[in-house]
Amino acid sequence: MSASCVLLACGSASLDDGASGAGGSDGAAPASGGASSGGQGTATGGADASGGSSGGSPSGGGPAGGSGGAEAAAGGAPGGGAGGAEPSGGADGSGGAPAEGCPFSGHVEYHLNAPESWPADMVPLITEAMDGATEYYNCYADLTKSITVNYKPGVPTAEANVDGQLSFGENKEYIQLPTTMHEIGHTMGVGYSPWSELLQDGRWTGPAVRAVIENLPPEQRDPDEVSQRDYITADTQHFWPYGLNYASEYVSEWSLIDHVRIVAAMQEDKQAYLNGDL
């Protein structure tokens, strides 16, 4: 089973079948099986290594132009999401293109795997979620990834792995923008090696991530207490804040933008580690 997510538009479900607890307010790794911040529901299950968690390099390649670094945090206020670009998905969807004025121009693309065999109502729902998620990723980071999107009725929520396989199940409540962005994070290497190598006492030690979170202006943060921290915590698969691991973590558009910035910075740190620079 791959790392998987279950964000609801509202409610108490976690984003990820592999999530294990809350981000907390200190530097310790979230306790396995604990409740999310704000009393939300706990996660269920766990991730496996089938997506190549022991692989030698973060998927998607190193970020171009230092995406996700400190300069990414200096972007202006969001104006209508990733800019309102026309969706370019569908059965042969290439993902949402960044709109004019986006600070970055990423190349996160996707295609639907055999959509002619899917229930007809699932195709537009999944296309909309994927278009929106890739628009944010392509607007706020210079990342590259090709994602295969599957429909698997047996998947209780949604799941993804570092090989670029992302699957939705039949529960439409989980076909949501933040869920999809969280899953794309897994395809980018969130929760996959090198991961624990960049953690110390539950805190991310890589300089790119630290630069993003330490320099993030107050007006570009969510208002909750955890989002005010100047460090990122993580467990074996997920990170806080801005990991979009629970429904309660989707607070504003900054939840989505800062998620992309941190995922991009994690790729930068992971590549630096593999290059022997950390």
The pLDDT tens digits for 187-225 are 999 999 999 999 999 999 999 999 999 999 999 999 999
pLDDT value of position 248? 81
Give tens-digit pLDDT for 258-269.
999 999 999 999
Whether 4 shows a pLDDT value over 90: the answer reads no
pLDDT value of position 96? 75
Return the amino acid letter for 178. Answer: P
Whether 156 shows a pLDDT value over 60: the answer reads yes
Return the H-helix or E-strand segment holding 211. helix 207-214
64 burial (CB, 10 Å; 0-12 / 13-18 / 19+) is middle
pTM: 0.75
d(CA 232, CA 143): 20
Give tens-digit pLDDT for 72-95.
443 444 544 454 334 344 455 677
As a whole number, the mean pLDDT across the chain is: 77
Q: How many helices (H) and strands (E) does the chain have?
A: 4, 11
Residue 246: pLDDT band (50, 70, 90) is: confident
d(CA 143, CA 108): 6
